[in-house]
Amino acid sequence: MTQWEILLENEKSDSNQFLQSIELNWERRKLVRKNIQESLKQKIKMRTAKFSSKLSATNLRNEVRKRSVEVEVEWFDLHLKSLDGICYLRMNDLCNERYKARRRCLDQFEKYDRNIGSLYVYKLSLRIRQNLVNEEYAILQDHLVAQRSLYKRLKEESELDVKRAFLANVEYFRANHAARIIQRNWKLYCARMSWKKRKSRRY
């Protein structure tokens, strides 16, 4: 195997390793992005289910309390006609209880509004994070395209440099070989001319 072939094989091996490292890095980025999206979806689902369960339980308790208060109001209204003094005092108590129940309901509604608002803000933050992940993904794609283009250009330049070096070695070999042939023929010519001179002197 010639030096040029060995160099070409080394370049191919380095190029393959470079491509493999790029592909592995790309796969890891895709896996990280997928895991983040799955984790975000799972968190949203769990928080929504938990909040819905709490809201349903709260609404049920409020409905039961409201119905209980309404029953008490009806009962006190029936007795109010015959028991003016006592029922008047009881009615005041009932009004207080009704006010407290209404206050509790309003507090629950305010809490519900706050929870909905916080959940909406959290949803927006998740969307922002998702957009950031998508932007990073697009940037990675652009980097990959640029790296592939750079790799292709470097590969072409490397192959051209190897070819030039090989041609230079060939030209150098040809020049040295031709010089040796000329030098050897010149020595033979000089020796032949010297021999002819000596031969002519003898005669």
Per-residue pLDDT for 1 more than 60? no
Run of H or E including 137 = helix 84-202
Per-residue pLDDT for 3 more than 80? no
If we measure between CA atoms, which residue out of 115, 150, 154, 142 comes closest to residue 26? 142
Q: How do the domains of the chain map onto residue ranges? A: 11-201
| Portion of the chain with pLDDT greater than 90, in percent | 1
| Portion of the chain with pLDDT greater than 70, in percent | 80
pLDDT number for residue 56: 80
Per-residue pLDDT for 73 more than 70? yes
139-182 pLDDT, tens digit per residue, is: 888 888 888 888 888 888 877 877 787 777 667 766 677 667 77
What token pair was written down for 86?
Answer: 């006592």
Q: Which residue has the tokens 């709260």?
A: 58
Q: What is the CA radius of gyration of the chain?
A: 48
82-110 pLDDT, tens digit per residue, is: 666 666 777 788 788 888 888 888 888 88
